Amino acid sequence: MRSIDVAGLRVSNNSIEILDQQLIPAEERWLTVESPEQMVEYIKALKVRGAPIIALSAAVTLAQYSEHVFNTSATERDKIRRIKEAASLLKNARPTAVNLSHAMDAMMQVPDQKWQNGALWQLAIEICKEDASLCDRIAENGLALLPRSGRCLTICNTGRIATGGLGTALGIFYKAHELGMPVEVFACETRPLLQGGRLTAWELKKFGVPCTLLVDSAAGALMQSGKVDAVFIGADRIARNGDTANKIGSYSLAVLANHHGIPFYVVAPYTTVDPGCIDGSHIEIEQRHVNEVRGVQGSFGSVFWAPEDIAAYNPAFDVTPSSLITGIVLDTGYFDKVAIKAGKHLA
């Protein structure tokens, strides 16, 4: 039986549902996925977001689609072509996050003569199960880095709804909370679509982890006040040299943390590391629609406060150079500046 039941993704036999993250916290609605094209729409609309859960959702969608294709009367050659085209379509839905590319490449490495026998479904389920175990190991590797005060700053959402398990950066906080360790999270609102304010604040509150929300531009003042003792962020792609792409505003936090002498940690699974990417200058940065800056959209509808024809700059991500990163926490271990420079995070 094909079954997955995690915070942001549910699979029961051939039925696939994703939690609509665009509606949180006002509503928890599950959306049915019926095609690769629909999954691409959900990814681009940020209804499903978080590098790991995007990869998992795309993997099961491709597996479902392959089964559908093999039940048609098309020729064998045409069936294989259609599945490969769907994999390419899904792979390109989110250019910055490398987890998606890794998942689609892994699916396409399965010999096509095995596709009809459920091999893609088997691999998709394995990818989902692996992510849960990766999150557990990440949390274990990151616990020792938590400051004694427990006062940490984060950006975006790196929790349960963004992964197949505890989460990445938030997973460390969850594990600490479960063990009775002091932890207090300061969450930046986070553009685009206020993912920290809507998702991280909602998720931490739901699981009882103390959380204070702040606008992104208040992070510097908060650090200056002495209320932040460490910064933990996620990642959508980690380059060979340790440069890291993450949600827009991450680079600013790294600069501020460096100025104030505060440790700055990047937390991710090994699937986020891209050995083929030399450095951050080679990471493609997704540009979002200008209306996300001109106003705001959500479960309440659309509100605009800027002139409708004003130009707007709205990158979804930025790149933090490895020189500003204290260390990288992966499921494979913790890597400080020396280890990163030596390329040990690539192993």
Q: Return all residues near 69 (Cβ < 8 A) that are at least 6 apart.
A: 79, 82, 83
As a whole number of angstroms, the distance between CA 58 and CA 248 comes to 23
List beta partners, residue 18. 9, 31
Residues 6+ apart with CB under 8 A from 137: 331, 332
Q: Is 6 helix (H, G, I), strand (E, B) or coil?
A: coil
The answer to whether the CB of 300 falls within 8 A of the CB of 26 is yes
Q: Distance between CA 53 and CA 47 in Å, rounded?
A: 11
- Contact at 8 Å (CB) between 90 and 62? yes
- Residue 31, token pair as written in the block: 């959306």
Angle between helices 51-70 and 36-44 (to 10 degrees): 160
Q: Is 105 a catalytic residue?
A: no
Contact by Cβ (8 Å): 246, 320: yes
144: CB partners within 8 A, 6+ apart: 334
User: Pick the catalytic residue: 131, 216, 236, 318?
Assistant: 236
Q: Is the peptide bond before 25 cis (omega within 30 degrees of 0)?
A: yes
The residues, ordered by sequence, that sit 6+ positions from 324 with a Cβ below 8 Å of its Cβ are 251, 254, 255, 257, 258, 264
Catalytic site residues?
A: 236
